[in-house]
């Protein structure tokens, strides 16, 4: 049995991280450019077979982190280890070509005049002929392109090209596969289809992978864990549902799920918000220390509902709407100026400027943050 086959695992559907050997460690890694820190004191462990996504706004340091792992950048401080061996830092530096790390580029970077099979086998020059050809067959099967082996990249769809790019990077059996904005070159429909497909391929290959994106939906849907970055630092690392439901900071909350914040004052066991009183039992965690203080309660579109109202009873006014097909998201400006979003199915219609009531529907406890 080949190394590849022996690593095959059933495709996971729950999105849970797998316990196992730590394959990649970043230990206090920093990268400075002059006075600016692109990455600051970043520590992170990635387990065998895990798919971890670095997520954050433009300029937060995602690409620099990926380049540091690949060996395309030297850290200013800290150490990077692969399977326990230092590859960067503390005086050691293993060049990119000698790291067992594969990279899938944004634009796929396929060789246009080589066939699909030749592209996939490109990095296996030093493999014995038979072994190389078996490996290419194995990967063609893994990415479901057996019937395209003799085609050139120009004869393939965007999704098929991406599968070739992933297969080519998996071919030398890297310890870690890095994917830089892997779906940004695909149109929206294909992007969603390829998320499932790439996840399936990575899971079947059993490879440890790190992807980079600024697309929260992509990160939440494909990853075992997401690492949210801000200003070169890690804000929170965890399973997608844990990070989404329990954002540790206002930054993480604002970055995920089109968040709005209702500012209210805590008075005993209630909070007075612009949408009325909320029981503190509807909020996450202990809050008694904040009695008398102002807090910001996190509400997302599916937590709120707009209702028709007269001018007199209205809580706010519709100031915008986004139609997505199955649903509308209405932007409502509350009387005190707070913007919120309300998710409705496509049969509910409100007009621009219409006065509306807004109810909190959330059937889960709401996160909150001390008002800054
Ligand atoms: P994006 O999503 O826009 O690609 P990012 O999160 O990947 O952003 P990085 O490209 O890692 O961010 O950049 C992080 C910070 O480091 C930015 O402020 C950037 O300007 C700076 N930076 C990155 N590379 C260099 C460089 N070679 N020289 C100077 N500054 C750099």
With a 6 Å cutoff on the Cβ, whether 160 touches ligand 1 is: no
Residue 1 has pLDDT above 60, yes or no: no
pLDDT at residue number 5: 36
Question: Of 272, 286, 293, 289, nearest to 336 (Cα)?
Answer: 272
Rounded to an integer, the average pLDDT of 315-334 is: 91
From atom 17 of ligand 1, which residue's Cα is the shortest distance away?
59
With a 6 Å cutoff on the Cβ, whether 228 touches ligand 1 is: no
Determine what percent of the chain is predicted with pLDDT higher than 70: 95
Q: How confident is the model at residue 247 (pLDDT cuts 50, 70, 90)?
A: very high
Q: Rounded to the nearest 10 degrees, what angle do helices 158-170 and 188-205 cross at?
A: 20
From atom 30 of ligand 1, which residue's Cα is the shortest distance away?
33
pLDDT, greater one: 223 or 109: 223
Over residues 185-230, the pLDDT tens digits come to: 888 888 888 899 899 999 999 999 999 998 999 999 999 999 999 9
* Beta pairing class for 327-334 and 339-345: antiparallel
Question: Of 64, 20, 62, nearest to 45 (Cα)?
Answer: 20
Q: Give the 3-state secondary structure of residue 101.
A: strand
* pTM as predicted: 0.86
Instruction: Write the CB contacts of 98 (distance below 8 Å, at least 6 apart in sequence).
Output: none
Contact at 8 Å (CB) between 172 and 139?
A: no
Residue 8 has pLDDT above 80, yes or no: no
CA of 163 to the centre of ligand 1 (A): 28
**Domains (range + CATH), the chain:** 3-100+174-254 (3.40.50.300), 258-370 (2.40.50.140)
pLDDT at residue number 342: 94
Q: With the C-alpha atoms ordered 198, 202, 203, 205, is the resulting torsion angle positive or negative?
A: positive
Q: Tokens at residue 231, please?
A: 């200003």
CA of 40 to the centre of ligand 1 (A): 12
Q: Tokens at residue 75, please?
A: 């850290």
CA of 316 to the centre of ligand 1 (A): 40
Question: Cα dihedral angle (145, 148, 151, 155), rounded to 10 degrees?
Answer: -80
Over residues 39-64, the pLDDT tens digits come to: 999 999 999 999 999 999 999 999 99
Element housing 134 (H / E): helix 129-142
Rounded to an integer, the average pLDDT of 102-109 is: 86
% helix / strand / coil in the chain, to the nearest 5?
30, 35, 35
Over residues 161-174, the pLDDT tens digits come to: 999 999 999 999 99
pLDDT at residue number 15: 34
Probe target for ligand 1 pocket from 37, 55, 64, with the most ligand atoms within 8 Å of CB: 64
Q: Which one-letter DSSP state was computed for residue 254?
A: H
């Amino acid at each position: 049995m080949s190394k590849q086959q022996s690593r095959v695992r059933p495709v996971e559907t729950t999105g849970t991280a797998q316990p196992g050997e730590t394959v990649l460690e970043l230990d206090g890694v920093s990268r400075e450019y002059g006075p600016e820190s692109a990455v600051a004191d970043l520590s992170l462990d990635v387990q065998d077979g895990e798919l971890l996504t670095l997520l954050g706004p433009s300029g937060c340091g995602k690409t620099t982190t990926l380049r540091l792992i690949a060996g395309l950048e030297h850290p200013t401080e800290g150490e990077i280890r692969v399977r326990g061996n230092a590859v960067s830092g503390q005086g050691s530096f293993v060049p990119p070509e000698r790291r067992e790390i594969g990279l899938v580029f944004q634009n796929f970077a396929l060789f246009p005049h080589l066939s699909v099979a030749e592209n996939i086998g490109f990095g296996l020059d030093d493999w014995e002929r038979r072994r190389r050809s078996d490996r290419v067959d194995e990967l063609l099967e893994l990415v479901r392109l057996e019937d395209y082996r003799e085609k050139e990249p120009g004869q393939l769809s965007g999704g098929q090209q991406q599968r070739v790019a992933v297969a080519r990077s998996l071919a030398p059996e890297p310890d870690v596969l890095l994917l830089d904005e892997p779906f940004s070159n695909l149109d929206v429909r294909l992007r969603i289809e390829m998320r499932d497909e790439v996840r399936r391929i990575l899971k079947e290959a059993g490879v440890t992978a790190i992807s980079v994106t600024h697309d929260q939906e992509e990160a939440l849907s494909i990853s075992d864990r997401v690492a949210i970055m801000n200003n070169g630092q890690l804000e929170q690392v965890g399973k997608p549902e844990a990070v989404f439901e329990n954002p540790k900071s206002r930054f993480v909350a604002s970055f995920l799920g089109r968040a709005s914040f209702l500012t209210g004052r805590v008075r005993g066991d209630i909070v007075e918000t612009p949408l009325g009183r909320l029981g503190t039992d509807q909020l996450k965690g202990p809050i008694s220390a904040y009695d008398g203080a102002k807090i910001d309660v996190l509400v997302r579109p599916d937590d709120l509902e707009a209702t028709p109202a007269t001018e007199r009873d209205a809580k706010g006014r519709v100031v915008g709407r986004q139609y997505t097909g199955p649903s509308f998201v209405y932007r409502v400006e509350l009387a005190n100026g707070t913007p919120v979003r309300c998710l409705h199915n496509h049969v509910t219609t409100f007009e621009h400027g219409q006065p509306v009531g807004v109810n909190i529907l959330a059937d889960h406890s709401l996160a909150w943050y001390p008002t800054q």
